Structures are given as structure tokens and as C-alpha cells.
Amino acid sequence: MIGSEIVTGLTIGAGYSLLAVGVVLVYTSTRVLSLALGEMGAFGFYLGVKFNLHGVPLLGWHLSAFEAGITAILVGALLGLLVERFIMRPLTARPGIDKLIVTLGVALVLALVELNFISFDPYPAPPFLGSGHFVLLGATLTTSRIAELVAAAAAAVVLYLILNRTKLGLATRATTSDPTVARLLGVKVNNVYRFAWVTAGGLAGLAGALVSNTNGVLLPFSLTTALLSSLAGAVVGGLDSLGGAIAGCLLLGVVQNLAQPYGIAYESGITLVIVLVVLLVRPQGVFGRSSAF
Amino acid sequence: MTAARSGTNPLLEVDRLCSGYGTLQVLFDVSLTVGPGEVVALMGSNGAGKTTTLRTITGLLKTMSGTVRLDGHSITGQPPEALVPQGLVMVPEGRGMLRELTVQENLELGAFTNSDRASVARLMDQTFTTFPILAERRQQKAGTLSGGQQQMLALGRALMAAPRLMLVDEASLGLSPIMTETAFNLIAEVNNTTGAAVLIVEQNVLALDLAHRAYVLEKGQIVATAEGAEVRRMQGRLREAYLGAGH
Amino acid sequence: MPSEDAVGTATAPVVPGPGAGPARHRPRVELRSLPGLTAGVIALVVVLAAPALLPGFKLDYLETAISFAVAALSLNLLVGQTGQLSIAHAAFLGVGSVVAVELGSRGLAWPLVFLGAMLATAVAVAVVGVPSLRIRGLQVAIGTLVFQAFAIDLANSTGVLAATRSFNRPGYLQSSGHIYYLSLAVLALVAFLLRRTRTTRAGRSFVAVRDVEARAAAFGINAGRTKLLAYALSGALVGLGGALFAFQQNSLGSAVPFGLQPSLLLIAVVVVGGARSSAGIVIASFFIYALPSLAPSGLSKYIQVVFALFLILAVLFQPEGIGGVLKDLDRRLGDLVAGERERPNPRPMPTDPVEKAHSATALRQVPRPLAGRLPVPALLSARDVTVQYGGVQALQQLNLEVRRGEIVGLIGANGAGKSTFFNAVSGLAPVRGSIRYRDRELTTAPPASRSGAGLVRTFQDMGLVRADTVRENLLLSQGWLARYPAAAGILGLAGTLPTEKELRRRADMALDLFGLDHLAEERLGDLPYGTMRIVEIAAAVAAGPDMLLLDEASAGLTPEEANQLGYRFNALRDELSLTLVIIEHHVPLIARVCDYCYCLESGRLIAEGTPAEVVAEPDVIESFLGAGSLKPARGSA
């Protein structure tokens, strides 16, 4: 019984880590803590679902559920591109709090557009990868949960390989270490920033589709609420450590799932306690290196 | 040491450069040249505007007015990443170590804009021949190196770009006199073996030992220049200004 | 750098430059403020007459807007003043409301209900803000975001928002108009308190933490405690807003006003309104909370989105928000009616240290428990001081001593460890070994206590707040002299006002002493670099030090000007009986003013003695000037 609870918890954590991977990527390469990623992912899926239900405006054809998911990924990546180029880049030299606030602004704008111009009522989330159940170590898991687990693992492995085996990865790590020095060595840091935001945006889109599937509905801020657990996990594990953030998310998923029977307030309450304690005792996170940003 | 070539066209030409931070102007009409293969020293005390000059030349700081030319073509306002492929490389103050990266990765980044693997491998071999200690420590994190080793890595990394012009910002920073001398000797050697021109920015007057020509910067203005034998006299004057009469 | 004329010419009168006399400006200043004053009066009349102008039911929206304006103002205490971010201020508003309803429904008198809500919310916000004691970054914001979710989950699962409970407003405060005026009074009170905060030690500490957190200890400020105070204070104010909201609504019923979206909107209100302007924030609150309800129904959804877009646009293009626009407008209108304002010459005016002897004496008169005769001749002594950063030893086994009334020089090449020693003394670097000051161990004393003990320092690259005026910086540096509790200062309780007045007097005397009095109201960041450096020394002197540590006061000056600075050092020692430790590169300056001199190289002491002895040491020459200066020149030149 406890084994199946843990497995379920791990899949929940995997969903969180899908967003956390993007948070860590953006944070390490640009030193920006992005609170916009959740809504960026949800926005694409909102559009996808709208096209699924009501057809694409002017063209009239209806997207399949799968195509809605693809739309989420593409729109997420596109939003990443736009946000980096037109919002974050002009703010490069500004204090961290300005950048943090502006990402909240992006989340707010997207959520208000979803609410006021896409659908005032919650959208049903169509099964992106079909519906089905699997039983793993006694835990019954839906397709979307399994997909979250697989996608999170794949994203982590691919990103690890990119960062450590490619020239783009070397450029990214150089930029993380010191953007000015990286530029003096010929690294086009703007390309690194773009890579980080587009990748994180695309992953957020994927997370938007999958997490909404799991939740069953799509609401404004529902993905920002999911992002919040990702952030909490990343803080616990270390904002500048890919592996640490994933571990933090998995841990949080398990803990939340174990607390779930006692009520939703216990789930978020224990998350709050864990975050506060970690911030106080080890501000850089369990696996993190630097606590300043 | 190759002698200054006064006849040839300058490699780097800085013409009445003004710049600063925000509304605060730091540089006032700074003009200087560096010829091919030349070692030029830009001397000045803390706060005189030396680093600001280098940051403006490399495009890290916005130019208020004036021009910077490389090979006669204006590079004014070009970002640093665009200058590396043109053969202009800067070794920043404090040596600019990418501390979390290994020695080898630092060196690979030196040749970042070079996509020819064979030539990168050749440059890497050359660098390891010049600085054998770097070969020994290739897998070590740059942040764990000693100050002198870091200076070697900084120079070696700059060499990986096969530069025509190296801008070196305070190579002596935090080094003992022996290490400082070693660093200056290395710069002279790099200049000798690769023929790369060097603009060395220093407050340590020992730098004038390697300079073919020199400028003195004070409150953002060039207040003195010297060439050939005059460099020696300038060294004496600066020493006096720093240490007082009697030295 | 004081002008050269001042030095050595004891009889030269102080000649004020053009436009420097305050008297010439006075009539213009009044004319100048006319447009702003007019606008303020009109706004006040409209606000007060609103109940007569608007049908009763729409007054509710204005009242709600006022509650949220209070929340936004309290959020600005964190965001604008302290540089911290709370993404849960709507939830905190909810905490205040819930507590108020809980207390009110039990029949407590409404002023006590308000106080209770303030106290409870202050505690809640402080608890969430506790990690800020350890963290310099913005991760605390994530904690607040998690709290936001927790608070909503808690409210939804416990039913504390059930509409059956009500505040129980007293009979004499039931009418819509009465509630409106009460709300206005609360808003005015909060705006007033925030304005007062700005002029007290607490407010200055907030700004110092925001802009120069790593160096706040040099002003006697404990950064962690200051942030926690900001969280608690912000909590008390948002709790007041919450109580007001509960009072207006009488019963709650829904968690919607306290959710994530309202929290984000509050941040938008602060940014769009402008972190430096309470008026701007109140105007922004009106736009987002009252306007959608007053406007035609089809329009409201656009207003929200447009407002959220304004948040992004404001950060990008108008960081001072509506407040900045207002200020700009006020300045232009002022120029229009009063002519363009003459700006004072941004350089220090010549002063004569001898004539200013009175100021100098007065600045010395600070109460210090440690004052008295010294048991040992050394005022400061360092024994085997080692500072290590990662693998690098920035200081190794350093031994040195500074005696009362000396000017001691610290020389060495860049990176030799001179500033590291200052950091060790002021508690900004991890130290092994012992540093004794007035025969007390310094290494175990909290960094923020050192300015109070008489140890005051400057920084090589300026440690002051550039966004503040020159005078505000001089008040900031005297932090240790303002020993009143933060709350007493904000409420203007007995003793605090005279203290502030005294600090101001000291600041003005220090400005006078350095010929900076005409620049008191200028923003520090607008001054030339050389003048900023003088302001920094003036700020250090205003703190009433016994020992002044000056880090490269002559940087950026020509050798000649640096020499002139030497006279200033002598005056500081002779007129103010200070002991000086100076880090210098200009050896002639060292040679002329220093009694004793230490030379560092790569973190080690390589020579000490009188300047003449030290400068004659071969090691020093080699270290400072390079080995080449002793050897015959190399090369072919």
C-alpha cells in the first residue's frame, strides 16, 4: 500500500519536475527566476483546446487532442522566444526583483487573457495521449501520469547531454559562470538566453498539456499553481542544480501524496513548512551551490 | 622583442573616444594606436579610466562619441563576441576565470568561435607546450588554481583564439612580484612567438619594460605618451610620481 | 576632493558660488509647488465629496479600492523600500480579514479588532519572511507564493470564510458614508505612517538593505533583522487593510479576493503606481479596483488585461510608474510658473577647516559607553589575522597595530589584501585570528555593532545609497546614534523627534565641514564621482567615529589632487581628533601624512615602519613598482 502511494507520489513529482527543469535552465543561464513558465505552458494548451472544441478561427478545422498538445508545446516555445527577446533582454542590467516581477506580469497577462478572452468557464482537458490505465507496483496510473514520468526523465537526460556534451552546452555553462567573460570569449550569450527560454517554454507547454490532463480541467493559474510546487521542489533541491531540483520535486510529490488523505490544506501546509525550513537551514537547497540571486 | 613598426598602418586605432557609466562621463577624448606586433602599455592609477577604456573598445560599454578601428574598419560599438573572430581578444581584470569549468573547458571556450576541429586541437597542443602546467591540470576546476596558474590559463585561453591583438587588463592583480614578472615575461613571449600585438593596461610600471610605446591615463584623459627610449624616462617619472622623489 | 583654494589659506573667506544662497530660492520654491498643491487640494475635495457625487451602491467599490490600496501601500514597504517581494499580499489581507471577523463576531470593540488583526497578520507575514534572516536573494518570494496556495487551501477546507460570521459593526458606523470616511481615514493614516517611516532609522535601514545589503553592517544595520522588521511592519499594515475590508463587507463568504490573481494584481498596482509614490499607488488602486465596477460592464475585462500589460510596460519603460509621471509633470508645471530651477554647482565648495572648528568639536560629542582612558596604547591591534576565500588566502597571519591619534597607511599593489583587512575589521569577511579594538575582541562582535564602537569605514567603490539624497545618506550613516525602537520612530513618540533633529543637525554640520551644504538635497547618484567620494567621507565623519578607515579616498584623482587630499586627512586628525587608517596608492601622499605605514603583498605583511623606512625597503619597491625598478632595464629599448 505504502509502495503504491510512493509510486503515485513519484509520478506527481515527475510532473512538477517537468516545469522545474525549465525553471532551473532559465535560472542557471540567465539568473532569472521565472514565475511565468506555468502560465506560458497553460496558454498554449488553452489555445489548443479552444481549437479542438471550436475549430481554428477562419480556417475552421478542428484540432485533435494530440494536435492540441503539440500546439501547447509550440506556443510555449514561441512565448519563450518572445518573452526573452522583448521583455527579458532589455532588462538584463536591472535588479533581480524587477525581472522576477516582470515574469509575474507575464503570468498575470496570460491568465487574464485566458479568463477574459478564451474561456470564462474551466475548460475540459482532452486526453492528450489517449486515456488508459497502467498498474505499476500496485499503483494505478493514467496515461498522462506515465507520460509525465517519461517526459520528465527524457527532458532531464537530453538536457544533461546537451549541457555536458555539446558546444551549446559549453556556451551555456560558461554563461552561467560569468556572462561577461563568456562574451569576451566570443559566446553569443543572447543565443544562450534564447535557447534557455525557448526550451523552457516548450517544456512548459508539454507540462501544461500533461498536467491539465491529469487534473482533468484547465483553469487560469492552474499551471501556475503546479509551477509553485515545481519551484518549491527546486528550492528544496537547489535552484542551480538540475538533478537537485528533480530530486526535490520527486520528494515533494511523495510527501504531498502521503499527506493527501488528511486534506488539501495538509498537502500545501507541509510544502510550506518544508520550503521555509530549507530556506532557513540551507538557503541554496540540498544540492545547490550558490544562494545568491 | 620585435621593435615597433612606425611606418605600417595601425592595427588598432582609438580616436577621441568618450564613454562612461550612465550620465557619468569617465573617458574624455582618449586616442591611442597599437601597431601590428607591437606591445603598448596604457598606464594609470586606480580610477584613472584604464578598465573603462578597454571595456569601451570591446563594446562592453557604450561609446558616447569617438571611433575605434581595427585594421582601418570601424568596430565602434560592436559587441565583444563579434570581435573575437576578428582577432581581438581581451583578458579581463581578475583573469576572468570560469571557475566552475575545468581548465580544458576554459581553453576550449577560448577557441569558441573556431569551428575547425583540427586547428583547435593544434592550438590546444601549442598552448599545452607553452604552459605545461595547464596540461597537467586539464581536468581541474579553474577556480582551484593558484593565482599564477590562473594567469597562465587566462593567457593560454586568449591564445586559443589565435589573436592578432590581445588586450590585457592588469595582469599583475594580486600576484607576488615574482609572479608578476613571470606574467609579464609570458606576455612578452606570447608577443614574440605569435606576433600578436598587445595592449597592456597596468599600474605596475614594470609593464613598461615590455612596451614599445606607452600612454599615461589620468582622470580619463591621455596626459603623456612615449615611444622607444622615452618609455624608459616615462617609467622613471611614473615611479617618482608613485613613490615620491628619491627613487 | 575639496577645492585646492581651501587648503592652507586660513584667512580666505568662503565665497558662495552663484545660486548657492538658500535665501535667493525661497520665494521661488513656494511658487514652484503651486501646481502640485492645487492638484492636491482638488483631489482632496473630490475624494471628500464623493459620497455626494456618487450613488450609494457605487461607494462600495471605492471602499474596496481603499482596502486594496492599503494592502498595496503595505506591499510597497517591502517591494519599493526594502527590495523584498511578497506574492501573497492578498492572502495576508485575507488573514487580517478573517481574524477581524473572528474577533468582531465575538463582540470585541472595533478598534481592538483592528489592532488584533494587525498583530496577527504581522506575525503571519514575519513567519513567512523568517528565511530572509539568512537569504540575501529573492527566494523568500517563493515561500510567500507557497503560503498563498496554503492560505487558500486552508480557507476552503476549514470554512473560516463562512458568510454566517460577521464583523458586528457598531451602530454609529453603519451608513455607507461613514464607512467611506473611516476607510479614507485609515488610508490617510497608513500613507502618513509610511511617510514617517521614510524619515526614521527604520526607513533608512530598509533602503540600505535594498541597495547596499552586503555593506549595511557598516552603517550599524543588521540586514536580517531589518528585513524581518519590514515584513512585520508590512504585515501590520496589510492586516489593518484586511480589518478594514472585513469592516466594509461585514462578512466574507468567499476566498476570491484573497487568491493568487489578486496578489499579482497588488504587485501590478505597486509597480504601475510607482514604488516611490504613495499617491501613484492610490491612483493605480482606483484604476484597477474601482474603475472596472464604475465603467460599463463590457469594458471591465479589457481594463484588467490592459492594467496587467501596464505592469510589464512599466517595468520596461517607466520604472517609477504613475508616481514618476506625476513628479515629472509637477516639475514641468513648476518650471512653467517659476522658471527653470538652477542646479547648484555639484562640486564641494571651498571650506576652511580652522573656521569650522566649532562644527568639528560638535561632531565629536557623541555618547559612547567605551569612551575613557585606554589601558593599552594600541587602539586597534590585529594578531595573526587570516582571511580565506575558497582556496585563496586573501590575508595570511597579518599582525598590525594602530595607536590613538595616528594616521596609519596601508599600501601594496592591487589585490594585495588591503581592502580585505578593512573587511575583516568591519566584520564583512570571515576572520581567523584576533582583532582587538579598545582592548575588546572585535571578531566575535556583530558587524553591525562596530560603527557604534567608533569604527567607521568607507568603501573603494562607494558604499552609499545613490538613489537617496546627500543628507539622507548622512542620516543613514549615523544609524547607531538613532537608538529608538522602530515603532516609536514611526509613530513619532517622545524622544525620537529630538533624536532625528539632532542627527539632522550633525549631518548638516558634517556637510558644512566638507563644503557640501549646498548639495544636501541633491540625489547622490547625480553628483560627479569625486564629489561622491567626499560625501562618503563626510557621511563617515557624521557617524562620530574614533577611528576612520578610508579605502582609496584618492582613487580617480590626479597625483596632484591626491596630495591636496592629504591636508584634509591632517585636518580630520587634528580638528576631530580622529585616528585614521588609509589605503592609498599615492606614496607621496602616504609619505607626507602617515605616522606609520604597513605594506602588504599577496596577503602578507612585507614591511612596516615610518613611511620613509617602508618606501626605502627593497621588498616594497619591488612589490609596489615591480622588480624592474631595481634592476637595469631589460629589453632593447
Task: Give the residue extent of every domain in chain A.
Answer: 2-219
Q: B209 is written with which cell numbers?
A: 619594460
Residue B105 distance to chain C (closest CA, Å): 20
Note whether B84 contacts A184, CB cutoff 8 Å: yes
Coil, strand, or helix at residue C50?
A: helix
Note whether B92 contacts A177, CB cutoff 8 Å: no
Q: Which of A208, A192, A213, A203 is nearest to A246 (CA)?
A: A203
Residue A145 to residue A139: CA distance in whole angstroms: 11
Coil, strand, or helix at residue C550?
A: strand
Amino acid found at C112: L
Per-residue pLDDT, B47: 78
Q: What is the mean pLDDT of residues A180-194?
A: 95
Residue A124 to residue C37: CA distance in whole angstroms: 55
Residue C74 pLDDT greater than 90, yes or no: yes
Residue C548 backbone phi and psi in degrees, to 5: -115, 125
- Specify which of A20-29, B20-29, C554-563 reaches the highest per-range mean pLDDT: A20-29
Residue range C165-208, pLDDT digits in tens: 888 888 888 888 899 999 999 999 999 999 999 989 999 999 99
Q: A184 is written with which cell numbers?
A: 569576451
Q: What is the mean pLDDT of residues C456-484?
A: 89
- Residue in the structure block whose three cell numbers are 553591525: C448
Tell me chain A's radius of gyration from C-alpha atoms.
Answer: 19
ipTM of model: 0.94
Q: Note whether C54-334 and C379-454+545-637 share their fold.
A: no
Exposure string for C616-630, b = 16+ CB within 10 A, e = fewer:
ebeebbbbbbbbbbe
Q: What is the mean pLDDT of residues C385-396?
A: 82
Q: What is the mean pLDDT of residues C521-542?
A: 88
Per-residue pLDDT, C373: 44
Nearest CA in chain B to A189: B81
For residue B141, how many C-alpha atoms fall within 13 Å in the half-sphere facing its CB? 10
Residue C354 pLDDT greater than 80, yes or no: no
The CATH number fitting domain C54-334, selected from 3.90.1720, 3.40.50, 1.10.357, 1.10.3470: 1.10.3470
Residue C490 pLDDT greater than 90, yes or no: no
The CATH number fitting domain C379-454+545-637, selected from 2.40.30.20, 3.40.50.2000, 3.40.50.300, 3.40.50.1370: 3.40.50.300
**Which has more pLDDT, C263 or C414?**
C263
Residue range A222-254, pLDDT digits in tens: 889 889 999 999 999 998 889 999 999 999 999
Q: A119 is written with which cell numbers?
A: 474561456
Per-residue pLDDT, C351: 67
Domain locations along chain C: 54-334, 379-454+545-637, 466-544
Residue C11 backbone phi and psi in degrees, to 5: -90, -10
B138: Cβ contacts below 8 Å, ≥ 6 apart: B102, B103, B104, B107, B128
Amino acid found at C86: S
| C-beta of residue B48 within 8 angstroms of C-beta of residue C556 | yes
Residue range A245-283, pLDDT digits in tens: 999 999 999 999 999 899 889 999 999 999 999 999 988
Q: What is the mean pLDDT of residues C573-590?
A: 85
Q: What is the mean pLDDT of residues C289-311?
A: 86
Note whether A167 contacts B112, CB cutoff 8 Å: yes
Return the minimum-mean-pLDDT range out of B95-109, C293-307, C457-471: C293-307
Residue C410 to residue C596: CA distance in whole angstroms: 9
Return the minimum-mean-pLDDT range out of A190-199, C386-395, C417-426, C466-475: C386-395
- Residue in the structure block whose three cell numbers are 587608517: C581
For residue B1, how many C-alpha atoms fall within 13 Å in the half-sphere facing its CB? 21
Residue C27's pLDDT band, with cuts at 50, 70 and 90, is very low
For residue C464, how many C-alpha atoms fall within 13 Å in the half-sphere facing its CB? 30
Residue A60 pLDDT greater than 50, yes or no: yes
The DSSP output letter for C469 is B
Residue C391's pLDDT band, with cuts at 50, 70 and 90, is low
Residue C586 distance to chain B (closest CA, Å): 5
Per-residue pLDDT, C6: 36
- Residue in the structure block whose three cell numbers are 515533494: A252
Per-residue pLDDT, C317: 94
Q: What is the mean pLDDT of residues C218-230?
A: 93
Residue A293 pLDDT greater than 70, yes or no: no
Residue A76 pLDDT greater than 70, yes or no: yes
Return the minimum-mean-pLDDT range out of A7-21, C370-384, C437-451: C370-384
User: Mean pLDDT for chain A?
Assistant: 90
Residue A82 to residue A86: CA distance in whole angstroms: 6
Per-residue pLDDT, B181: 85
CATH architecture of residue range(s) B12-96+165-243: 3-Layer(aba) Sandwich (3.40)
Residue A291's pLDDT band, with cuts at 50, 70 and 90, is very low
Coil, strand, or helix at residue C306?
A: helix
Domain locations along chain B: 12-96+165-243
Counting DSSP H helices and E strands in chain A, the numbers are: 11, 4
Residue B138 distance to chain A (closest CA, Å): 16
Residue C1 to residue B219: CA distance in whole angstroms: 13
Return the minimum-mean-pLDDT range out of B65-79, B210-224, C239-253, C451-465: C451-465
Residue C150 pLDDT greater than 60, yes or no: yes
Residue B196 pLDDT greater than 50, yes or no: yes
Q: Which residues of B touch A (CB under 8 A)?
A: 58, 60, 79-81, 84-85, 89-90, 92, 96-101, 105, 108-110, 112-113, 157, 161
Report how far apart, in Å, the C-alpha atoms of C196 and of each of B36, C190, C284, C382, C497 are: 64, 10, 22, 42, 11
- Enumerate the residues of chain A whose CB falls inside 8 A of the CB of residue C91: none
Q: C610 is written with which cell numbers?
A: 615610518
- Residue in the structure block whose three cell numbers are 525550513: A277
Maximum distance among all Cα pairs of chain A, rounded to whole angstroms:
57
Amino acid found at C14: V
| C-beta of residue C620 within 8 angstroms of C-beta of residue C417 | no
Residue range A135-148, pLDDT digits in tens: 877 777 888 888 88
Using CB atoms within 10 A of its CB, is residue C103 exposed (0-12), middle (13-18) or buried (19+)? buried
